[in-house]
Structure 1
Amino acid sequence: MADKTVTVEQIASPVRRQADQRATLIGLGLNKIRKQRTLKDTPEVRGMIYKIRHLVRVVGEQ
């Protein structure tokens, strides 16, 4: 059985945001607007996405 994945895209800049939000973006592997990353769909990753939901969007899930 294959691991489930989630693809996220950065849609906003972390400029003038709290340092922990910037660190969360970097933790997800995002650092530029329009950059996409495909990550394992785990509760930890979902929590990170939820924390910065105003800076990213979920493009797809598998």
Structure 2
Amino acid sequence: MALPKYKTSRANTHSRRANWKATAAATVNCPNCGAPALPHMACPSCGNYRGRTYRSAIQPAHTK
């Protein structure tokens, strides 16, 4: 295996690592309720996907 002949400076290391960025997840608006949801997934607000209800909406466990 090849080894580096010289030490890589901090500036070169940081400039190389500056391109490793996380991208935000793409969201679409739910056609049923209009809340943002991940594509090809059930809506977290109403539980609908492609006109069907797959689960009930998330309700808080304890309300005052």
Task: Please state which structure has a larger fraction of its residues in helix.
Answer: 1
Asked if these proteins are the same fold (TM beyond 0.5), I'd say no
Q: Larger Rg: 1 or 2?
A: 2
Task: Please state which structure has a larger fraction of its residues in strand.
Answer: 1
The higher-RCO structure (CA 8 Å, 6+ apart) is: 1
